[in-house]
Amino acid sequence: MDQGNRSKNELLTPASSGRRACLTRLVGSLGALVALDSVASTKTPDRGLAYTPDIRGPFPIPQNERGLHTITATPYFKVSDKGLQLEGASFDRKGNLLFVDVFGGTIFRLTPDKVLSTVLPPNSLGSAGIAIHKDGRIFVSGLGNFVDTGSIFWLNPDGSGLTTIVPASAGYLPDDLVFDKNGGFYFTDFRGSSDNPVGGVHYVSPDFKTITPILSHMAIANGVCLSPDGSVLWATELSAGRLHKVELSGATTIAPFGTAVPYYFSGFAPDSMRSDSDGNIYVAMYSQGRVLVFNPNGIAIGQILLPKRETGHNMRSTSIGFVPGTNDMLILTNDGKGGEGSWIFHAKGFAKGTTLYSHQ
């Protein structure tokens, strides 16, 4: 019995020794490779981070938005050689584009054949947003001195009859506004900051006598628009970088579980907005030279880039207006002190723009 066991051990020992020897050689070889790699690494210069074309410029497209369907707008009209803060793109029934210069207070009119004129000369009202009544009156939200003189007023198409609706004493900084189908309107309150969210969205009744809060505690509420059927209110929050979706069961009533923030923006900052007849939402991105597009659920589905944005020009994109009855869009921007002045660019959306109260 012992002799048999010894025979088996004698037969097994050479194979075991061979395996151990093979493993020893393999470990030794790996060690040598690691050592060589270590030596090679020490000889390779450390080049550090390197810029690539897709991350250059002041506001490169965020990683999660680079795969979006993307088009580039084309020049339409140069408003000024100066960097005027253009805002409030709206169309009247004659096809004229109305818009403002925020810091100067001027209200401009651009005809379909591109003749520019002034509706309201420079003033201290700080005009920021425009909505046109179906009777032709121009309603304007004004930031005033950006501190305590904000107001909402209307004037006739020829600039006469200026009448205040929401006075400075009400304590708001109205920035943008949109009519509902009944002739009341929602406006954004531009007050607050990222650490002091005191702005919001409010509704002014059709008789212009009652103001009802809809959204509160917002860090500089900015853009506002309605879905094509008026059942969904959308708003952007400048300092918090958020897109708000509010389902309504009435002009001043939020449907149960009807509020959501479906999107958080990267970088500064979501500005004014418009909707199209498919329910998509178009948001101008201030300081980014582009417009982001969202489907009715707040999912990003496309973007429109402005020319020269990759070199840091035309970045102050603020506002969008749809030519009534078409998917043609005009986008307002300015170049600040960059030398390109103030421009209106053209692009086409996914669908025709929502029919606004002015054209109902």
Active site residue 92: no
Question: What is the rounded CA–CA span in Å between residue 16 and residue 100?
Answer: 89
Catalytic residue among 271, 276, 328, 335: 271
Please report which helix (H) or strand (E) contains residue 97, including its range: strand 97-101
Considering only CA atoms, which of 191, 147, 183 is closest in space to residue 165? 183
Q: Tokens in use for 84?
A: 């005027």
Determine the 3-state secondary structure of 76 from DSSP.
Answer: strand
Furthest-apart CA atoms within the chain: distance in Å: 122
Q: Tokens in use for 281?
A: 């939402």
Angle (CA) 153-229-272 rounded to 5° is: 45
Under a CB-based contact definition with an 8 Å cutoff, are residues 115 and 109 in contact?
A: no
| Residue 4, φ and ψ in degrees, nearest 5 | -65, -40
Q: Tokens in use for 171?
A: 């304590």
Going by C-beta distance under 8 Å and a sequence separation of 6 or more, which residues neighbour residue 229? none
Question: What is the rounded CA–CA span in Å between residue 46 and residue 34?
Answer: 19
Q: How far is CA 91 from the centre of its chain?
A: 21
Under a CB-based contact definition with an 8 Å cutoff, are residues 232 and 221 in contact?
A: no
Under a CB-based contact definition with an 8 Å cutoff, are residues 223 and 284 in contact?
A: yes
In angstroms, what CA-CA distances link 36 with 27, 29, 31, 33, 39?
A: 14, 11, 9, 5, 5
**Bridge partners of 26?**
none
Please report which helix (H) or strand (E) contains residue 10, including its range: helix 2-43
Please report which helix (H) or strand (E) contains residue 5, including its range: helix 2-43
Under a CB-based contact definition with an 8 Å cutoff, are residues 123 and 140 in contact?
A: no
Active-site positions? 271
